[in-house]
Structure 1
Amino acid sequence: MLAGMNAPASRSRARRPRWPPSRRAALVLAGLAAAIALLLALFDWNWFKAPLERAVGAATGRQFRIAGDLDVDLGRTITVSADRLSLANAPWSSHPHMGTARRMEVDVAPWPLLALRLHMKELRAIGPDMRLEANPDGPGGNWDFIGGDRAERTPRWRLDRLWIQDGRLRYSDAAARTGIDITLDSVEAGDGPAPVALAGKGRWRGAACRLPGSAAPPLDLADAATPYRIDLEARAGNTRASASGTLTHPFRFQVFDLQLALAGQDLEELYPLLGLALPPSPPYALDGRLRRDGQVWCYEGFKGRVGDSDLAGDVRIDARGERPLFTARLLSRRLDLDDLAGFLGAPPSAGEGETASPGQQARAARRAASPRLLPDTPYDLAKLNAMDADVRWRAQAIHAPRLPMLEAMDAHLRLEGGRLHLQPLDFAVAGGQVRADVRMDARRAPIATHARIAVRGVELPKLFPRAELAQGTAGRIAGNIELRGRGDSVAAILGGADGQVALGMGRGRISNLVMELAGLDVAEALKFMLTGDRQVPIRCAFADFGVEDGTMTARALALDSTDTLVVGEGTVDLERERLDLLLRPRPKDRSILALRSPLRVGGTFKDPSFRPDMAALGLRGAFALALGSITPPAALLATFETGPGEDSDCGGRYAR
């Protein structure tokens, strides 16, 4: 019975098919393959566009869009490609996009993705267009992606190499009137970061500019810790610059170290470009090391030329205070005096062999045609109040064909809050020294000026080194000048000045021919011309003028020698630039041909005249009175160099 009951069950089991293990595995693999095939047939990498857009948006704080296709090639390196990308701009910008690209390909290392970090081995951008804008309402710009203290954040992405094809980079700063449009193309440089060749144009601080050169990849701008390498030539207006080196925070210009060659037509043109209130100058070319750390700029070890003068030194600009502080230590081995004309408000000389721009040549031509000599170009009060300065400038030698007696210069200029102080302003002149102390208050117009000038030990023969009549002369000139005036130009200041001018010379000697000609003693003059000149001792010479409202009036004017006494009177009009002086000679020897005619010095500063005044021949009374007033002013006596143990009794016996 048991046997009968078990028989159907046994038959039932015997009817089920039994698959071998290898056949079952084949069926599983076939099903899996069909599922994978179906997945591949239906899969689209564009499904990941939205997550990728959200990830980039979270990292940058900006909306990121991929309007084209997204594709991924898997392997040891994952290559992600996308078309028609865009990154939104900062909320304050009027432009919707900070950057766009026709296509981008990124090689990504897979393992850092597990730690939610993005390591891009290379990014290839085709047709990228990036717009960098300075924030008009505060520091920084649209390149600041995440607010807060970025130094405390750990970057979650890294880029090793960038390749750009047909790129464009635009930078704008509306407040600084700056806008530059640059085309970019990467240059092959091995496996390292690829530099870019660039060519730009636009406006820098309102001046048209061009910018050819090369630079590090533009995306390096976003990495504050990596110095940005540049090798550029730039031109803005007439100013040209060639720079190579590194920048940190390049568009904020906070830290950089560059070798900078700078050239232009006029240093004054740097004021609108860089905010440096420098005086007008002839064309210049300088080369040195430019560094900046925050608000401190340094142009170190520069050398070059300004006009026809060599110039070297160090410059430092500290912009941390209320006004920038410009500090400079300058040296010229050979200074062309014409190149200092801009300090006085005059154009540099534009004659043969002189360096001047076309504009300066035109101004020099107009000035040469003017009957006026004193510079009348107004000083710019805004510039004098725009910054503070501390400048020391030394010149070891001076080239001045019209004033060959000038030998060297040492000037120290300090400017603070619109108040300028030149002290010392020293010139080595004809073996002596002219030392000036000049103060100008430009806080309001007109400028108030006070100048004190001390003349010491100037040798008479060296004043006229090319004059034959000066050969063999001797004597040292000394004196003091003090003037106060108000005006916005040199001409205006002197035209209304008050003060005094006193110059004198102690014992010396001078050509007898000069003295005879001064007395118009024809016989004596002819004798010396035919038989040779001789030297006549000078007892003293002096000129003492009072200055009031721009008019110099002679208080004492005389030259006393053993041969002739000359006394003078008259005025010098600083406002009209006119001379009106009368010199009365009285020869001390006897001659039947001695005319004793007074000499009239007239004309203008630019065109003086010297002629005998025949109408004054008979004025013996006035001349006699003048003889009693030729004793030198007491203030000058201390400056006379009369020789060891000797006192000057200049005019003594004639005054009695």
Structure 2
Amino acid sequence: MFGGILGVLVVLIALLIIFWRWDWFVPLIDRKASAALNRPVTIAHLHVRLGLTTTVSVDDLDIKQPAGFEQEKDDFASARRITVSANVWRYLTGGGLFLPNILVDTPKGDIVSLLDGKNNYTFGSTSNPSKGSSSSSSIPRIGDLTITNGDIRLAIARMHTDMHALVHTTPAQNGDDGSVVIDLKGQYAKAPITGHIVGGSLLTLTNETHPYPIDARLANGPTYVTLRGTVDDPLHFKGTRLALHFAGPDMALLYALTGVPIPHTPAYNVTGNLNYTAARIRFDNFMGRMGSSDIGGDIAVDPHAAPPYVDARLHSHRVDLQDLGGFIGAKPGSGPSKEAATSNQILPDQKINVPKLNAVNATLTYHGDHIENKKLPLDNIDADIKVQNGAIDVRHLNFAVGRGTLGMVATLNPAKDGDFATKLKVDVARLDIARLMQSTGTFKGQGTLGGHITLDSTGNSVANLVARGNGGVTLVVDHGGDVSALLPDLLGLKIGSAVLSAIGIPTRSDLQCFIADLPLRRGVLQTHSLLLQTSNTRTIGTGTVDMRNDTLDYHVTTRSLHFNILSLPGAVNISGPIRSPTVLPGAELIGRTAAAVGLGVLFPPAALLPTIQFGVGKGSVCEDAIQQANAAPAAGIAPGSTTGAGKAVVQPAHSAPKAVASQHKRRKAVTSPPKSAAQIHDAWLKKMHHD
């Protein structure tokens, strides 16, 4: 009897072996996988080959889209066949999980994220690993990975991205370990994208002693990127030897690829070393061109900070300021745009991009050894700028001009509706006017320019900050220079020459002093004082410059300092758009001209009578005007010692009030009490009308 039972068992076991089908487990696998992934999962067949190295294969894997993504025409994932071999004996003896072979045939994926942030690749919460577990211990060692005909679609609505990654592997040959090849095509960040990426095999990726090779070429719209080199133990951030190259028409387009906001720039081409550790990603020792300027330096990014922190230390040996126009909201390039040429607007109106500013915190230092600019041949530039939680702190932005300095400090703090509450101070310290005008080859003399410009406003571009702002301009020029060369270049050759001719300044007059004290009130520049004195004439100005619509309404009057014949000076009215104002003679000048013509008809020698001026005398108007500018400057900061000989010293913003107070104290000790603005203005009028 026992023998019969044993025989039946043997027969049953034999039948089980003969008719065994691993597909019997398919429904169970489908249920378990569907529950784990929270979406329908099916496989057509299951194949298992048992042994010390066990091989498991599934055919026609199909994973449906989760709830809410039924409208997608493709399934979430699928594969014709997946085969995995596992060394069971090694695992059972404590050697860890080793997968000698993985074969994935025709894998497909459809990765989707909608505008509202909902996506199809989130599988629910997972428990946190224990503190004592090692991330490396959970990663199996893989011997050989073979992928054929892979096609993964990535559709990220918020990034305006819909592209395909075509993936396959190449086998080991000629002593190498094979490779993983990815080809990209589609749209990324609203621009077409193509790419070809070749990486080492997965075996070298997990090999701590074998550098992992990378060779990548990527084109996103007009931006071109290459990355070549090796990574040492990439899973543990041991180091890199990677050369990274960027080229394109505008660095602002790199925001989509890097997540780092950069202002608009002209065409660029840079190459450097990409390094990373567990803490930071670095772009070191890069160099190249940006427009007609060279650019180089180091950039470090801490991706773990929220938001990421960027530390950029940049320099140029030779820089054209026009290439940096995007940093102040202007359009970088070699010249004004067609729109700017036909518009009356004179200040940049590019809006500050608030979302991009909030994307990172950053520190930027920049030094340009030599500035090349046809209109302003400054010596160098030095900048230190910080962005923190959307606020901009220009700690200093200095330009050297010979012994002089043009320096700026500013803070821009986020306000309502995307605006920035802005405080700005510009220090003009002992700028050599001959140096400023050296490109013309016409200015003669040793005049120096000094003073301050201040602005307190709320807005989101340079143009509307000035149009809404309060503050002022206080500038002083002393001791000498050729005004007939200076004004045409400052105002524009055609307009400047017309103004000189209209106000009666003789050719090649020596400039003795110039004082401009102009308060800015709600976008309108008014006039406390405007005085220009040459060796022969004294000119004062009154009126306004409206920065809200870039127009001016100004009146300039010139009188001779000495007895003069054959001169028809008087008030000149300058009005209209700042870019192309109209220059017209005032009533006095028209009257004198008409009288000269009328008398010339009746009695020719009498035509000289209206042209006779007896002179207002030299007096001390320059001294009075400078005293007034120091006592009550429109900019809020006295020009003090910003002109004259010696080395320029630019005061930081926080020390300005104290410095002004000390200047007032010193001046009170050696001069009489300052006159009021009204008293000085009356004195000027009396002197000018005294003939």
Which bracket does the TM-score occupy, shorter chain normalised? 0.7 to 0.9
Instruction: Quote the Cα distance in structure 2 between the aligned partners of 1:64 and 1:524.
Output: 91
Is the 8 Å Cα contact of residues 519 and 596 (structure 1) preserved in structure 2?
Answer: no
Instruction: Quote the Cα distance in structure 1 between the aligned partners of 2:534 and 2:288.
Output: 50
Cα 1:578–1:84 change in 2 (3 A) is: same
Structure 1 residue 131 displacement after superposition: 7.2
Instruction: Quote the Cα distance in structure 2 between the aligned partners of 1:225 and 1:132.
Output: 34
Written as runs of structure 1 = structure 2, the 5 A alignment for 1:28-47 is none
What is residue 100 of structure 1 aligned with on the other side? 79
Structure 1 residue 585 displacement after superposition: 2.7
Instruction: Quote the Cα distance in structure 1 between the aligned partners of 2:135 and 2:431.
Output: 68
What is residue 421 of structure 1 aligned with on the other side? 393
- Note if 1:567 corresponds to 2:548: no
- Amino acid in structure 1 at the alignment position of 2:340: R
Instruction: Quote the Cα distance in structure 2 between the aligned partners of 1:113 and 1:499.
Output: 76
Structure 1 residue 172 displacement after superposition: 6.6
Name the SS for the 1:479 alignment partner.
strand
- Note if 1:633 corresponds to 2:612: no
Is the 8 Å Cα contact of residues 480 and 512 (structure 2) preserved in structure 1?
Answer: yes
Instruction: Quote the Cα distance in structure 2 between the aligned partners of 1:156 and 1:397.
Output: 53
Instruction: Quote the Cα distance in structure 2 between the aligned partners of 1:463 and 1:612.
Output: 31
Structure 1 residue 324 displacement after superposition: 2.7
- Counterpart of 1:151 (choices 125, 129, 134) is 134
Greater mean alpha carbon deviation, residues 429-438 or residues 91-100? 91-100
Instruction: Quote the Cα distance in structure 1 between the aligned partners of 2:187 and 2:434.
Output: 56
Instruction: Quote the Cα distance in structure 2 between the aligned partners of 1:474 and 1:201.
Output: 63
Structure 1 residue 503 displacement after superposition: 1.1
What is residue 161 of structure 1 aligned with on the other side? 144
- Counterpart of 1:187 (choices 152, 158, 170) is 170
- Counterpart of 2:299 (choices 308, 315, 324) is 315
What is residue 479 of structure 2 aligned with on the other side? 507
Instruction: Quote the Cα distance in structure 2 between the aligned partners of 1:221 and 1:244.
Output: 16
Query: Deviation per CA, 1:466-523, whole angstroms, max 9, x where unpaired?
Result: 43541x3221111111222222222211113222211112222437899999886999
Q: Aligned pair count?
A: 590
What is residue 556 of structure 1 aligned with on the other side? 529
What is residue 240 of structure 1 aligned with on the other side? 224
Structure 1 residue 624 displacement after superposition: 6.9
Instruction: Quote the Cα distance in structure 2 between the aligned partners of 1:463 and 1:204.
Output: 46
TM-score for the superposition, normalised by structure 1: 0.72
Instruction: Quote the Cα distance in structure 1 between the aligned partners of 2:234 and 2:105.
Output: 24
Is the 8 Å Cα contact of residues 381 and 443 (structure 1) preserved in structure 2?
Answer: no
Instruction: Quote the Cα distance in structure 1 between the aligned partners of 2:256 and 2:149.
Output: 33
Instruction: Quote the Cα distance in structure 2 between the aligned partners of 1:582 and 1:156.
Output: 81
- Note if 1:396 corresponds to 2:372: no
Greater mean alpha carbon deviation, residues 192-201 or residues 509-518? 509-518
TM-score for the superposition, normalised by structure 2: 0.69
What is residue 367 of structure 1 aligned with on the other side? 340
Cα 1:262–1:156 change in 2 (3 A) is: closer
Written as runs of structure 1 = structure 2, the 5 A alignment for 1:518-533 is none
Structure 1 residue 391 displacement after superposition: 0.9
What is residue 31 of structure 1 aligned with on the other side? none
Is the 8 Å Cα contact of residues 520 and 595 (structure 1) preserved in structure 2?
Answer: no
What is residue 485 of structure 1 aligned with on the other side? 457
Instruction: Quote the Cα distance in structure 2 between the aligned partners of 1:603 and 1:590.
Output: 34
Name the SS for the 1:342 alignment partner.
helix
Cα 1:134–1:605 change in 2 (3 A) is: closer
Is the 8 Å Cα contact of residues 79 and 105 (structure 2) preserved in structure 1?
Answer: no
Instruction: Quote the Cα distance in structure 2 between the aligned partners of 1:578 and 1:456.
Output: 28
Cα 1:152–1:499 change in 2 (3 A) is: closer
Name the SS for the 1:406 alignment partner.
coil
- Note if 1:277 corresponds to 2:250: no
Instruction: Quote the Cα distance in structure 2 between the aligned partners of 1:139 and 1:277.
Output: 29
- Amino acid in structure 2 at the alignment position of 1:184: V
Instruction: Quote the Cα distance in structure 2 between the aligned partners of 1:550 and 1:45.
Output: 89
What is residue 21 of structure 1 aligned with on the other side? none
What is residue 127 of structure 1 aligned with on the other side? 106
**Identity of counterpart residues, as a percentage?**
23
- Counterpart of 2:314 (choices 330, 352, 356) is 330
Instruction: Quote the Cα distance in structure 2 between the aligned partners of 1:202 and 1:524.
Output: 67
- Amino acid in structure 2 at the alignment position of 1:425: L
- Amino acid in structure 2 at the alignment position of 1:573: D
Cα 1:427–1:421 change in 2 (3 A) is: same
Q: Which has the higher contact order (CA 8 A, sep 6+)?
A: 2
Instruction: Quote the Cα distance in structure 2 between the aligned partners of 1:505 and 1:123.
Output: 80
Written as runs of structure 1 = structure 2, the 5 A alignment for 1:329-478 is 329-349=313-333, 351=335, 364-401=337-374, 403-429=375-401, 432-445=404-417, 446-467=419-440, 469-470=442-443, 472-478=444-450
Cα 1:514–1:257 change in 2 (3 A) is: closer
Instruction: Quote the Cα distance in structure 2 between the aligned partners of 1:549 and 1:594.
Output: 39
- Counterpart of 1:578 (choices 551, 554, 560) is 551
Is the 8 Å Cα contact of residues 381 and 399 (structure 2) preserved in structure 1?
Answer: yes
The structure having more radius of gyration, on CA atoms, is 1
Name the SS for the 1:161 alignment partner.
strand
Cα 1:510–1:245 change in 2 (3 A) is: same
- Amino acid in structure 1 at the alignment position of 2:184: G
Is the 8 Å Cα contact of residues 152 and 166 (structure 2) preserved in structure 1?
Answer: yes
Structure 1 residue 434 displacement after superposition: 0.8
Is the 8 Å Cα contact of residues 266 and 284 (structure 1) preserved in structure 2?
Answer: yes
Structure 1 residue 311 displacement after superposition: 1.3
Cα 1:495–1:145 change in 2 (3 A) is: closer
Gaps of 5+ in 2: 1-9, 488-496, 593-611, 631-638, 648-669, 673-679
Is the 8 Å Cα contact of residues 561 and 617 (structure 2) preserved in structure 1?
Answer: no
Cα 1:629–1:498 change in 2 (3 A) is: farther
Is the 8 Å Cα contact of residues 261 and 288 (structure 1) preserved in structure 2?
Answer: yes
- Amino acid in structure 2 at the alignment position of 1:346: A
Written as runs of structure 1 = structure 2, the 5 A alignment for 1:83-94 is 84=59, 86=61
Is the 8 Å Cα contact of residues 431 and 459 (structure 1) preserved in structure 2?
Answer: yes
Cα 1:571–1:251 change in 2 (3 A) is: farther
Name the SS for the 2:527 alignment partner.
strand
